[in-house]
Amino acid sequence: QVQLVESGGGLVQPGGSLRLSCAASGTIFSINTMNWYRQPPGKQRELVARITSGGNANVADSVKGRFTISRDKANYTLYLQMNSLKPEDTAVYYCNFQQVWAGTMYDDWGQGTQVTVSS
């Protein structure tokens, strides 16, 4: 099992920037994807950005051009650079690793970090 710890959240004014980090520890065997999800108040959790084991990165249309996902492959650290933040980006942001072993997919989640965009 992988332990994931997010950091970097906080309160920021509209138009500001934040950089989220996700540090991993524990048993890492075969990562399929590394992902950022978010859950706005009163809404369902949604995928924000994904990076595959091969390095292909994608972000949701709602954050395209503003958010960038990246990773440090050597130590399995995941990042989310968030620029031009809007009030609708307010949410709890979660790091997620998907691993595959012997045909079974495993999901591990961090505890989440709060991002609040407000003036």
3-state helix, strand, coil in the chain (%, to 5): 5, 60, 35
Q: What pLDDT, in 10s, does the model give residues 65-101? A: 999 999 998 889 999 999 999 999 999 999 999 998 8
Token pair in block for residue 59: 């972000």
Whether the per-residue pLDDT at 51 is higher than 90: the answer is: yes
C-alpha span between 69 and 67 (Å, rounded) = 7
Q: What pLDDT, in 10s, does the model give residues 13-42? A: 999 999 999 999 988 888 899 999 999 999
Q: Tell me which residue of 16, 26, 51, 17 sits closest to 36, measured CA to CA.
A: 51
